[in-house]
């Protein structure tokens, strides 16, 4: 080997070593470039829309004009659950937190009125109890959020079967969550976290963790918990790596197998937004009852109760808007 060839080999090895260190360190600039490139691919070739039995029951501006500002009394949400269930929704998932007592409950309103006998309050209806009775024995999934206070973690309504080495350490860490109202938490068929990208500083949602972990227990997110409940399944089958713990590869939920990143995330390949995905709450709670078209769209569908109203600040950004 000539001296020039030796110098070339040394330079090549140095470049490879430098690039290896960069990749191992994964600096923020690389992550930003990957994210922007991923977004551009999605814009150039978005996912083709295919009708699926999934709907958003939308607390939209029209619903707020009809029923007043949010939050609504929970006896109205009980009526919403009853109607969705009667129309044959396979799962009803609330992308809403129910961590505080219903301040509009007659029992709580009377307690705040000066001069009223406190014992009268106990004789009045409690909207949380009404809502809990409504969701009991129905395929209802409630969401829970993350908290930086305390150490409360919600109960897990599903079982887990693990294939290969344990992946329990793989997902983002759940330090604590905000407790739900006890009667609602107990009555729900499923509980799922609603954190789209915990710990990720990017405002664009590109990947969603399907699980969180406290190091011993996995906690599913709202979407897969709704999918589990809709199928009447009781168990997640989570696959790890054959010879290394702390890695996820996939999760099986009934008939569906979802490939995951090592950290238990699902990268989103999204379609442009479509109006047919949404049904206004106003249409479901109409005094004359839902129309046949609404009933047909809900029958057999997984429905997510959430909001597109800008004032409620529950809007998130994806690659397509």
What mean pLDDT do residues 72-77 have? 95
For the stretch 288-314, pLDDT in tens is: 999 999 999 999 999 999 988 766 666
Residue 100 exposed, middle or buried by CB count within 10 Å (0-12, 13-18, 19+) = exposed
pLDDT value for 15:
63
Give residue limits of the domains in the chain: 1-45, 53-312
Q: Is 74 exposed, middle or buried (0-12, 13-18, 19+ CB in 10 A)?
A: buried
Averaged over 111-124, what is the pLDDT?
A: 68
Mean pLDDT value across residues 7-35: 60
Instruction: Summarize pLDDT for 189-222 with one digit per residue, the tens.
Output: 999 999 876 666 677 778 889 999 999 999 999 9
pLDDT over 80 (residue 159)? yes
Model pLDDT, residue 14: 61
> Element (H or E) spanning 208, and its range?
strand 207-209
- Is it the case that residue 8 has pLDDT exceeding 70? no
Residue 188 has what pLDDT? 97
Mean pLDDT value across residues 157-178: 94
Q: How confident is the model at residue 251 (pLDDT cuts 50, 70, 90)?
A: very high
The confidence score (pLDDT) of residue 249 equals 96
Q: Phi/psi of residue 317, each to 5°?
A: -105, 130
Paired with 267 in beta bridges are: 207
What mean pLDDT comes out for the span 21-31? Answer: 56
> Above 60 in pLDDT, residue 136?
yes
Task: For residues 81 and 75, give the distance between their C-alpha atoms in angstroms, rounded to a whole number.
Answer: 10
pLDDT on residue 265? 93
Identify the pLDDT of residue 196.
75
Task: Give pLDDT, residue 282.
Answer: 96
What percentage of the chain carries pLDDT values higher than 70?
83
Q: What is the DSSP string of 260-280?
A: --TTSEEE--PPPP-GGGEEE
> Which residues on adjacent β-strands are paired with residue 93?
141, 304
Can you give the pLDDT at residue 303? 98
pTM, two decimal places: 0.86
| Number of residues assigned to the chain | 321
26-40, 152-166, 233-247: least confidently modelled range? 26-40
DSSP type of residue 307: -
- Give the pLDDT confidence score for residue 74 in this predicted structure: 95
What span, in angstroms and rounded, lies between the C-alpha atoms of 58 and 282?
A: 9
- Tokens representing 274 are 């479509």
| Residue 252: per-residue pLDDT | 97
Is pLDDT at 18 greater than 60 in this prediction? no
């Amino acid at each position: 080997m000539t001296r020039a060839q030796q110098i070339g080999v040394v330079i090549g090895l140095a470049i490879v070593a430098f690039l290896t260190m960069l990749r191992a360190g994964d600096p923020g600039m690389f992550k930003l470039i990957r994210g922007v490139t991923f977004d551009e691919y999605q814009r150039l070739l978005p996912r083709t829309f295919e009708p699926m039995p999934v709907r958003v029951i939308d607390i939209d501006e029209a619903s707020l004009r009809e029923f007043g500002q949010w939050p609504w009394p929970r006896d109205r949400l009980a009526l919403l659950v009853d109607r969705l269930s009667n129309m044959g929704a396979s799962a009803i998932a609330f992308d809403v937190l129910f961590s505080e007592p219903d301040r509009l409950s007659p029992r709580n309103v009377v307690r705040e009125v000066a001069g009223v006998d406190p014992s009268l309050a106990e004789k009045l209806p409690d909207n949380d109890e009404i809502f809990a009775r409504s969701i009991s024995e129905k395929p209802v999934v409630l969401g829970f959020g993350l908290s930086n206070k305390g150490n409360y973690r919600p109960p897990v309504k599903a079982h887990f079967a693990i294939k290969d080495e344990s992946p329990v350490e793989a997902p983002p860490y759940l330090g604590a969550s905000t407790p739900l109202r006890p009667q609602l938490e107990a009555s729900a068929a499923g509980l799922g976290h609603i954190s789209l990208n915990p710990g990720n500083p990017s405002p664009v949602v590109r990947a969603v963790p399907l699980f969180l972990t406290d190091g011993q227990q996995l906690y599913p997110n709202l979407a897969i918990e709704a999918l589990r409940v809709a199928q009447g399944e009781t168990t997640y089958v989570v696959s790890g790596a054959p010879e290394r713990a702390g890695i996820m590869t996939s999760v099986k939920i009934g008939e569906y197998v979802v490939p995951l990143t090592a950290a238990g995330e699902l990268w989103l390949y999204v379609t442009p937004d479509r109006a047919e995905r949404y049904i206004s709450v106003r249409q479901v709670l109409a005094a004359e009852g839902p129309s046949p078209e609404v009933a047909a769209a809900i029958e057999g569908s997984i429905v997510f109760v959430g909001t597109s109203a800008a004032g409620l600040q529950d809007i998130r950004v994806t690659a397509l808007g």
